[in-house]
Amino acid sequence: MAAWKPHNSLFVRLAMAALLGAGAAGAQTATLGLGRAATPAEIQAADISVSPSGVNLPPGGGTAGQGADVYQRRCQRCHGAKGEGGEEGPALAGGQGSLATPKPLKTVGSYWPHATTLFDYTRRAMPFNQPGILTNDQVYAVTAYVLHLNGLFPAGQRLDAQSLLKIKMPNRDGFIPDDRPDTGKSAKKAKR
Ligand code: HEC
């Protein structure tokens, strides 16, 4: 088996291309009688990713106080009363200053480089068992609360797209560009 490398095999690549092509064509035409084109409204509803720099952040906002309420009803069960984590979910708070110690604790507060990711991830993926049920205001509020639990956002202030972008996460500068030849900018330069 060791000599067989699927990603280097021209045959496999051609087969993949044929499959992908057939899939795309199938979705467009009724030949196979499968599927239909997504409507613009459906595409818009799914197109909610927010970039680290805040592109696509929606209008709305909320305070940590409002977020505490959302948190208690929707998050606490898995992430603990103060974000310390529990049996069903990881810690969301604490661990600042622990990354270079023998017992690093990676949380939103200690590890994540961008606060915008907390909004994006929560909106798309949480609550784990019912993703998508929170309104944008509730996501802003619970984001404010998780940041507040990490000492990164004051209790009474309203979190919205502007104030979210102003938050500098403690580990913002703790990442270095990945300079392996097959990733990032160098990958585009390298001929494969
Ligand atoms: C049913 C349990 C459950 C509930 C309820 C829940 N979560 Fe989670 N959460 C998880 C699990 C499990 C993970 C880890 C998922 C993974 O790594 O794929 C997670 C991961 C996260 C993370 C990423 C943590 C990290 O550092 O990787 C954040 C942020 C988060 N949850 C926020 C929330 C918020 C905010 C709510 C409430 C709106 C919530 N969660 C509700 C189970 C839950």
pLDDT tens track for 17-33: 444 544 454 455 567 88
Q: How far is the CA of 86 from the centre of ligand 1 (A)?
A: 10
| Domains observed in the chain | 59-166 (1.10.760.10)
Cis peptide upstream of residue 127 (ω within 30 degrees of 0): yes
Q: What percent of the chain has pLDDT over 90?
A: 72
Which atom of ligand 1 is nearest the CA belonging to 111?
26
Whether 4 has a pLDDT exceeding 50, the answer reads no
Q: Rounded CA gap, 41 and 57, in Å? A: 18
Over residues 102-124, the mean pLDDT reads 98
Q: 128: CA distance to ligand 1 center in Å?
A: 6
Question: What's the rounded mean pLDDT across residues 176-190?
Answer: 75
Ligand 1 lined by 135 (C-beta under 6 Å): no
Q: Are 113 and 174 in contact (CB under 8 A)?
A: yes
Across residues 181-191, what is the average pLDDT?
A: 68
Mean pLDDT of the chain: 87
Residue closest to 119 by CA, chosen among 105, 135, 130: 135
Mean pLDDT throughout 25-45?
79
Res. 114: pLDDT tops 60: yes
